Chains A and B, each alone.
Chain A
Amino acid sequence: MTRDQVGEELPNLAESKLTALVVDDSFVNQTIHQKLLNRLGIKNDVVTNGKEAVDVYCSGGNYDLILMDMDMPIMNGIQATKRLREMGIESKIAGVTTRANEGEKKEFMEAGLNDFQEKPLTISKLLSILHKLNFYVQT
């Protein structure tokens, strides 16, 4: 979904009460991804590695969508995604990473992702994720 297809008017998804968790060790990417989500009216939180994401769920947290980076210290995105799925977590997980060769993408997808986007994340790519995961229907 390109920005032209979206049009200049961005959807406000605040009424849908969607929630998202940003999982990324880069402060630059955390800031950008949170801003993208805020722009669409999606409440969100951020953690800095896969283990923190797992801990959030172990503590009773829950989100509609997880934006999961691949390369992170302590627990990477592949390990965290596998762990969350083993725990029975059904939140939609979108992998967001600069690693885009087919082998790495396949490994990440097979860990339990619902979707995958190559960084840098943009409004168009985020809307594409939301559309594919049925959180947003373009009118």
Chain B
Amino acid sequence: MQRQVALIKQSLFDQGYLDEQFMELEELQDDANPNFVEEVSALYFKDSARLINNIDQALERGTFDFNRLDSYMHQFKGSSTSIGASKVKAECTTFREYCRAGNAEGCLRTFQQLKKEHSTLRKKLEHYFQLARQAGPKETARRPK
């Protein structure tokens, strides 16, 4: 079970879903907060769902307020960076570039990709945390090689 957890975590890094920042968070886990990373991740997905909804509504209006969209995406990028959500962060960066260029089609296309990456990461992390809880606290504290 522990080996399975380690392999899943390794694959999340190898496939670029997570970066070093996720490991920084795991190293903050202690006896007082053994599920700290899972709690922060839950906060992230709750907060990012709100931002996705805001952006969806803004895009559906059809009038592209690039400043407002950029502001939402700045927040999204910030929290994605903080938990090490590497692919999501990259899509946020691309979206912001399209905002600055005033490229509505680029924004729409990138946002669809961002939602896919976000959803994929959510499912993978839910699976990882479920297994990690079953395996026990030891395995989550080590850096992947």
What is A's interface to B at a CB cutoff of 8 Å? Answer: 26-29, 31-32, 35-36, 39, 71, 98, 119-120, 122-123
Q: Please, which residues of chain A bring their CB within 8 A of the CB of B33?
A: 35
Question: How far, in angstroms, from A71 to B30 measured CA to CA in the complex?
Answer: 31
Q: Using a CB-CB cutoff of 8 Å, which residues 58-101 of chain B contact chain A?
A: 74-75, 77-79, 81-84
Given A98-B77, A119-B82, A120-B21, the answer on whether A28 and B44 have CB atoms closer than 8 Å is: yes
29 pairs from A and B in contact (CB 8 Å cutoff): A26-B78, A26-B82, A27-B47, A28-B43, A28-B47, A28-B82, A28-B83, A29-B78, A29-B79, A31-B39, A31-B40, A31-B43, A32-B28, A32-B40, A35-B36, A36-B28, A71-B74, A71-B75, A98-B77, A98-B81, A119-B78, A119-B81, A119-B82, A120-B24, A120-B81, A122-B21, A122-B24, A123-B24, A123-B28
Assembled-state Cα–Cα distance A120/B27 (Å): 15
Q: Tell me if B8 is interfacial: C-beta within 8 Å of chain A.
A: no
Judge if B108 is at the interface, Cβ distance under 8 Å: no
Greatest chain B CB density within 10 A among A29, A71, A98, A120 is at A120
> How far is A32 from B21 in the complex, measured between Cα atoms in Å?
11
Chain B residues closer than 8 Å to A71, beta-carbon distance: 74-75, 78
Chain B interface residues toward A at CB < 8 A: 21, 24-25, 27-28, 30, 33, 36, 39-40, 43-44, 47, 74-75, 77-79, 81-84
CA A98 to CA B77, docked complex, whole Å: 9
For chain B, what secondary structure do more than half of its interface residues adopt (helix, strand, loop), or is it mixed?
A: helix
Which 5 residue pairs of A and B lie closest in terms of their CB atoms, listed nearest first?
A28-B79, A120-B82, A122-B24, A98-B78, A28-B44
Smallest CB separation, B45 vs chain A (Å)? 10
CB nearest to A35 among chain B residues: B28
CB neighbours of B24 from chain A (8 A): 120, 122-123
- Which residues of B sit under 8 angstroms from A120, Cβ to Cβ? 21, 24, 81-82, 84
Once A27-B47, A39-B28, A120-B24 are accepted as A-B contacts, the answer to whether A32 and B82 lie under 8 Å apart by CB is yes
For the complex formed, measure the closest distance between the CB of A138 and the CB atoms of chain B, giving whole angstroms.
19
Chain A residue contacts of B79, Cβ below 8 A = 26, 28-29
Provide the residues of chain A in CB contact with B27, threshold 8 Å: 123
Closest Cβ of chain A: how far from B21's Cβ, in Å?
5
Partner of B75, one of A26, A31, A36: A26
